[in-house]
Amino acid sequence: MSAQAISRGILVLGLGFAAGMQLGKIAPLIGRMQAEFGFSLTFIGWLASLLGLFVALAAYPATRFVARRGTARSLKAGAVAMIAGAIALGLSRSAELMIVSRGIEAIGYVLLVIAAPANLATHSPSHLRGVFLALWGGFVPIGYALANLQAAALPEEWPSSWVMLTFAFPIALSSVLMAVTLPTEMDTGAKAAKRRPIPLIGWVLATAFGLYVYLSIGFFTFLPEYRASHSAGDVMFPAAVALCVPLGNVLAAILLRGSGASRARPLALIGFISAGVAAAMLYSSWPLDAIVMPLFALAGGMTASGLFAQVPRLAANETAAASIIGAMAQAGGLSTLLEPPLAGFLAETYGWAALGWSLTTVALTGAALNILFHAAR
């Protein structure tokens, strides 16, 4: 039974990584889309961010569907929508059809980012829930990395539409494997459970996650511009820094192995404090940045994993888990929408150091919320 539960958890996690690939597949195709369709960077940017926009607007309301249908059925429904949207996007030849296709993908994406971690929080083996949720905390950067690898592995002469069609394969393969092994009987508990309001500490956790997303988006959005604007900018590549996030997730998974969620809160607290200290030293000089930037990214990965791994302590069943994770996704989506223009304003108006100190303030606020979360327990 435990081996089966571990296998199912791995497949659910794999489906999440495949969903992250759909989020990141536009970035490596920007040049081809401009050349083939004449799209502006603004339109391509909106097309890329449409999935995040749906999360910002619909994540918490979507928990009603997940609670009503259960996580297994919701995962399958979300996967079908993402496959259909991926195929339609690859076949689209106009901006209007691409927006509609991306919208279909977005519906499935919202369901997946709620149902997958809720399933892991309630149905994976209790001694490994912290591990699975820690790894889930890196599904976006891992998805982006896999998307870049897949696009780079295909012939350069292929049009963007052909490349987009290939992205339907990983989500389809992981969905088929999951559909065969993930029984819908586990949803009976969700039907029996009454959906209740999220407790205060659940909202505290969601707010802390929104602050983490602020740190991540604010840092990585303008890292290429910061590198380009400094003469020694080739010392540290943005892609190399980004790889430190999943390294932080993996480190957190190792630390959480066999501990349930008992180490999750201290891990998130250490992550927030470490990110705050590192942020205070960001944007000073490249020799220092080359050390501090990877540490900031690593701390961010640990923070995300520590926050997700706290969900099982709050959720008695998958209905409760879906509600809490939906609130976390909603907070993260709102930060994704609001933070880039704010970070750009700070950097442009007051300089890069102002952006660094804003990240320090947010990180320490997240640490305080994590302490408050523990006190509320």
- The residue-averaged pLDDT of 252-270 equals 82
Q: Identify the CATH class of 200-376.
A: mainly alpha
Which architecture does CATH list for 2-192?
Up-down Bundle (1.20)
Which of 96, 76, 95 has the alpha carbon at shortest distance from 181? 76
Lowest mean pLDDT among 13-27, 187-201, 336-350: 187-201
pLDDT of residue 192: 46
Lowest mean pLDDT among 51-60, 171-180, 366-375: 366-375
The residue type at 12: V
Domain extents in the chain: 2-192, 200-376
For the stretch 80-108, pLDDT in tens is 999 999 999 999 989 999 999 999 999 99
Which pTM was predicted?
Answer: 0.81
Which of 129, 122, 374 has the alpha carbon at shortest distance from 260? 129
Query: 159 with 32: CB under 8 angstroms?
Result: yes
Integer angstrom CA distances of residue 108 from 65, 74, 82, 361: 12, 9, 5, 35
| pLDDT for 187 beyond 60 | no
d(CA 239, CA 219) in angstroms, rounded, equals: 13
Which of 306, 291, 309 has the alpha carbon at shortest distance from 244? 291
For the stretch 136-159, pLDDT in tens is 888 888 887 888 888 888 888 888
| pLDDT for 303 beyond 90 | yes
**Do the first three CATH levels of 2-192 and 200-376 match, i.e. the same topology?**
yes
Could you tell me the two tokens for 137?
């905390």
